[in-house]
Amino acid sequence: MDLNQIFKTPNPIIGVVHLQPLPTSARWGGNLKSAIARAEQEATALASGGVHGIIVENFFDAPFAKERVDPAVVSAMTLIVDRIMNLVTLPIGVNVLRNDAHSALAIASCTGAAFVRVNVLTGVMATDQGLIEGPARELMRYRRELDSNVKILADVLVKHARPLGSPNLTTAVQETIERGLADGVILSGWATGSPPSLEDLELASAAAKGTPVFIGSGANWENISTLISAADGAIVSSSLKRHGRIDQPIDPIRVSRFVEAMRRGVTAKNTAPASSVPIPSYSE
């Protein structure tokens, strides 16, 4: 996955548009126009603040469906993604929670979006929705059937979940890339707003062997200069919102502050002596 080609930078910041409750969700309020307007405002705020990409997800549809969402959610998200793509010039991604990778890929392919996020691509994770099995085989076949070039970013040992079994991080990263065929991997902390440790990012980056590694949660302007030393990019949401609260709208000033902190971290990373973390070789 060539980050420069997609995001025009080797170290992209991907801001998140958390959609208001969509049709058929538990908190659906009956006003899709309001959800669209909020999404457009947040996308504009992220773009004006200087992010390099945006990912759209149905965050406020919780409690989530385990796998396939209702067709009304797919329709609403397709409409919103298309509206955002006509509003900003940044590459757009799609995440259909909890793990509807097929719908995300369909939305992205039909709208011309650049990438999707898949929470569980390989293995089996115990989540608050129950056991979720990775759909890597079916998803990759579906991408081929669609003749799609949409990139797949996959979480490794995703937040709000526990693996069935005890794979170590190195093995999980390698299997996600080499057996699941992910184009990039995402490492998060244990929950929304919780960052991964620097040590885990270093292990993941070493195991990825050049495949992009993204920070998937908990990044803010205070820790990003440290965390980015062991990652390629960041997906960020909570810290960019007014007062840092997940339910508040995006604050362009906080976006700009994060972008500047990221820039300083990347500069420090590029001028620091190279180091490596030895890892065991992958085998069947």
- Profile the chain (284 residues) by mean pLDDT over runs of 10 residues: 96 98 96 97 96 98 94 98 97 97 98 97 91 96 97 89 80 96 93 85 96 95 95 95 92 95 93 58 40
CATH topology of domain 3-271: TIM Barrel (3.20.20)
Of all residues in the chain, the percent with pLDDT exceeding 90 is: 83
Of all residues in the chain, the percent with pLDDT exceeding 70 is: 95
Residue pLDDT, tens place only, 126-177: 988 899 999 999 999 999 999 999 999 999 987 777 878 767 899 999 999 9
Which conformational region is residue 259 in: left (phi greater than 0), alpha (psi within -120 to 50 degrees), or beta?
alpha
Gap between the Cα atoms of 272 and 258, Å rounded: 21
pLDDT of 272 reads 73
Q: Are 35 and 76 in contact (CB under 8 A)?
A: yes
**Closest alpha carbon to 237 in 222, 268, 216:** 216
